[in-house]
A and B are shown apart, each in its own frame.
Chain A
């Protein structure tokens, strides 16, 4: 019976080819939207991580006013949830940075004591910025924390819009794919309704009739998923390469396909198997009622 399924793929070559192609096309369209949104998310997260928080050390607290003492705050700050790293900048370094950035003349007559020791802090999740900020502020030895909540809000908003657009697009595409798929399989089984009717007339059980269709659906689904994965890989590499060439690579950091390949492969095969088996069973349901 399993052999029947394989034999049928060969016998109905054109229809099998159409089914595999459509599974592939649907997966690539959906996959491309998903990967695009994944990359945008990745990019935003990358930008988020570059967003810095500055925590100023309390000068008036004698325990931390000296540089050596101030440095001891580093592990304490890094232990705060959501903080990925805290790097110490002494008041001298801060002044030098300032002088590099702005006009040196402005700094005449001003000494480094105007500046405070500080930590440049990076965080993991920008959505928790407010919490992290207050945790930093409550740390003994920290006088003030400067964070750009407005930047954070913009990032979050942008990310939410991208996610929403991707979800809506995917939902539409899933619906369209299912529709095309079910029609393709219906068409494939319609041409074989005679065969099914004959099987019923000679006393085949529903299970016997269904099994080759399920096997066929599964094999076509796996083929569609596998080929879709390979095509997606090629397409992805092509697009990311041309993006990297046309724009400055530093600005646009894309995710390497090889890093997400196992997950994409599993998802594509999974979707292929589900669509194939479900399509195989549902398409012949009507013909089994006799």
Chain B
């Protein structure tokens, strides 16, 4: 669950106002698209959710953690409730598929037994069974992103946050990936996808939050109509 109340964020070094009085709420189990042009504040919003930056004022609640008051050493605990997927996959190049996914479990102190049980299950869920021993460089972009999704899912997070996950993929792979997110959502995980791909968003009848110039300008089920890519 994510809740923003009158959130304001300025970047110290440049003085840029990234978010200006943002209010939004994403409930447990929802599938939400967050859309907007470059520089609209999408990534800043993501960073507030993952705890990479802290808002100047307002209230940010992520999976019951008060992000305005959270102590630095409590951040790892909060992040374990999230699964983050990036546009550039961010896989470790010299680790094979299995280890890239298992790595996320080792980091949180899971036992070897748990890892051996959970990793194959997640790889199968994202359709990557049989690729365990391959290196990221031996996979297609779509497959690499699936590894990243498997890694995000492996610790059973309450919410998946994906920042432009289809940015480097062709339309068919993008659609496949969104179907995978939909499947994950149907299994009970909240999904928040940041994107600016209109066709993709409109192919799914999901809630769309549009952000522009640091403000939420629309929020509803009526697709990606409220703004045009500039």
Chain A residues in contact with chain B, CB under 8 A? Answer: 4, 11, 194-195, 197-206, 208, 290
Chain A residue numbers with a CB within 8 Å of B109 are 208
* A204 adjacent to B92 (CB under 8 Å): no
Q: Which of B52, B73, B84, B106 contacts A205 (CB 8 A)?
A: B73
Can you list 22 A-B pairs, Cβ within 8 angstroms, ordered by A? A4-B106, A11-B94, A194-B90, A194-B92, A198-B90, A198-B103, A200-B79, A201-B79, A201-B84, A202-B79, A202-B104, A202-B107, A202-B151, A202-B155, A203-B79, A203-B107, A203-B108, A203-B155, A204-B108, A205-B73, A206-B73, A208-B109
Chain A residue numbers with a CB within 8 Å of B92 are 194-195, 198
Q: Which residue of B lies closest to A288 (CB)?
A: B72
CB of A221, distance to nearest CB on chain B (Å): 23
Instruction: Give Cα distance in the complex from A206 to B84, angstroms.
Output: 18
Chain A residue numbers with a CB within 8 Å of B80 are 202-203
Inter-chain contact total with CB atoms closer than 8 Å: 44
Chain B residues in contact with chain A, CB under 8 A? Answer: 50, 52, 73, 76-80, 82, 84, 90, 92, 94, 103-104, 106-109, 151, 155
For the complex of A and B, the 9 pairs showing the least CB-CB separation, nearest first, are A203-B80, A203-B79, A204-B107, A202-B104, A203-B76, A205-B76, A201-B84, A202-B107, A199-B107
Instruction: Give Cα distance in the complex from A11 to B76, angstroms.
Output: 26
CB of A89, distance to nearest CB on chain B (Å): 79
Instruction: Give Cα distance in the complex from A49 to B223, angstroms.
Output: 97
16 more contacts with CB within 8 A, not counting A195-B92, A198-B103, A204-B107, are A194-B90, A194-B92, A200-B76, A201-B84, A201-B90, A202-B103, A202-B107, A202-B108, A203-B77, A203-B78, A203-B79, A205-B73, A205-B76, A206-B73, A206-B76, A290-B52
Q: Which residue of B lies closest to A289 (CB)?
A: B72
Instruction: Give Cα distance in the complex from A206 to B71, angstroms.
Output: 13
Q: Which residue of A lies closest to B100 (CB)?
A: A198
Instruction: Give Cα distance in the complex from A203 to B76, angstroms.
Output: 4
Instruction: Give Cα distance in the complex from A119 to B79, angstroms.
Output: 84
Q: Which of B50, B77, B106 contacts A201 (CB 8 A)?
A: B50
Instruction: Give Cα distance in the complex from A11 to B106, angstroms.
Output: 18
CB of A12, distance to nearest CB on chain B (Å): 9
Instruction: Give Cα distance in the complex from A218 to B13, angstroms.
Output: 37
In this complex, the member of A11, A195, A203 whose beta carbon has the largest number of chain B beta carbons within 10 angstroms is A203
Chain B residue numbers with a CB within 8 Å of A206 are 73, 76
In this complex, the member of A4, A11, A198, A201 whose beta carbon has the largest number of chain B beta carbons within 10 angstroms is A201
Instruction: Give Cα distance in the complex from A159 to B128, angstroms.
Output: 73
